[in-house]
């Protein structure tokens, strides 16, 4: 007993003050989880970037403004279209399309389409709708003057059904990816608690990346198919352009959702969590423990009773 008292008396006041179990544990958690915290902030930042670009994809082409009017999936240029027949009472105006009652161009977004003239820019945008899909046959035929007609290629009629299904899937996937990206951006710091939290977060993160990837692939494929299906018809003289800004925005969002998934998946098998430290599985040695061992004795572990022989 006397030896134990002399040993305890040799502990400096500073060590006794710092050896409070709760203070030691908090310091160990902060040091041991630094890598995990950095990974969490990077993942949240990546989700923020993806969220911003998904917003741009969502609101693109919803108005005829200079900014939003330049964000579209594809654009049809009908200014020099060659008709099958023209009403004899009509005279040639600024473009052949205008003579037929059509607009010079039509451009398609996620919610609606816009139309306009080469000299005036966008003059009208259709009402936004979650069930929107661009039907070129219905739109063009509804605007033709009586007596005028054009022969749309059979390829366009063949892909209308596929286009409608792809448009609905793309819209739903982009919306789901947008909402989930926002939720994960705010909720990602929860995985600091335990690596077990990384498992459900990795699953949701994978789902977000998959949704945005599929939606971006559908948007790209739809734009390219329209471009080549219409441009290949030389007898119509219709030109189609892919919206480069829209493609860049949605693939940037895809890239950052995929990177965020890899970060979440990595945190499931590495990067010390708070639970790892408190259960003694990884890291967490405090400065007081190191100082105590150098002086020839050990402090009791946090949450455990020490047993000493008398």
Res 55: pLDDT: 96
Q: Let me know if 67 is exposed, middle or buried by CB neighbors in 10 A (0-12, 13-18, 19+).
A: exposed
Q: What would the pLDDT profile of 98-111 be if each residue is shown by its tens digit? A: 888 899 999 999 99
Beta bridge partners of 124: 115
CA distance 94 to 212: 41
Q: How many helices (H) and strands (E) does the chain have?
A: 11, 5
Mean pLDDT for the stretch of residues 230-247 = 82
Q: What confidence tier does 123 reach under pLDDT thresholds 50, 70, 90? A: very high
Q: Which two tokens stand for residue 63?
A: 């108005």
Res 298: pLDDT: 45
| Percent of the chain surpassing pLDDT 90 | 35
Q: What would the pLDDT profile of 152-209 be if each residue is shown by its tens digit? A: 766 667 778 888 899 999 999 999 999 999 999 998 877 766 666 677 888 999 999 9
3-state SS assignment for residue 235: coil
Of 111-120, 182-191, 223-232, 270-279, where does mean pLDDT reach its minimum?
Answer: 270-279
Radius of gyration of the chain (CA): 32
Residue 15 near residue 291 (C-beta atoms within 8 A): yes
Average pLDDT, the chain: 77
Q: How many CA atoms lie within 13 A of 49 on its CB side?
A: 16
């Amino acid at each position: 007993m006397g030896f134990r008292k002399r040993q305890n008396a040799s502990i400096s006041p500073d060590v006794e003050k710092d050896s409070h179990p709760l203070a030691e544990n908090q310091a160990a958690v902060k040091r041991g989880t630094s890598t995990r915290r950095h990974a969490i902030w990077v993942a949240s930042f990546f989700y923020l970037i993806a969220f911003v670009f998904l917003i741009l994809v969502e609101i693109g082409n919803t108005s005829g403004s200079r900014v939003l009017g330049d964000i579209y999936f594809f654009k049809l240029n009908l200014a020099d279209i060659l008709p099958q027949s023209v009403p004899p009472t009509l005279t040639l105006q600024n473009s052949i399309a205008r003579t037929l009652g059509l607009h010079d161009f039509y451009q398609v977004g996620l919610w609606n389409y816009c139309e306009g003239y080469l000299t005036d820019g966008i003059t009208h945008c259709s009402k936004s709708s979650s069930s929107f899909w661009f039907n070129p046959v219905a739109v063009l035929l509804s605007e033709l003057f009586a007596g005028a007609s054009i022969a749309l290629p059979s390829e366009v009629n063949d892909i209308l059904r596929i286009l409608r299904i792809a448009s609905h899937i793309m819209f739903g996937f982009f919306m789901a990816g947008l909402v989930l990206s926002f939720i994960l951006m705010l909720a990602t710091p929860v995985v600091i608690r335990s690596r077990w939290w990384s498992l459900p977060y990795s699953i949701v993160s994978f789902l977000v990346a998959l949704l945005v990837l599929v939606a971006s692939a559908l948007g790209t494929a739809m734009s390219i198919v329209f471009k080549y299906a219409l441009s290949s018809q030389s007898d119509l003289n219709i030109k189609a352009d892919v919206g480069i800004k829209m493609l860049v925005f949605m693939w940037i969002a895809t890239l950052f959702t995929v990177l965020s998934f890899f970060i979440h998946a990595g945190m499931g098998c590495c990067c010390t969590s708070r639970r790892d430290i408190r259960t003694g599985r990884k890291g967490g040695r405090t400065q007081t423990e190191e100082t105590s061992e150098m002086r020839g004795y050990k402090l009791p572990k946090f949450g455990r009773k020490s047993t000493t022989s008398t």
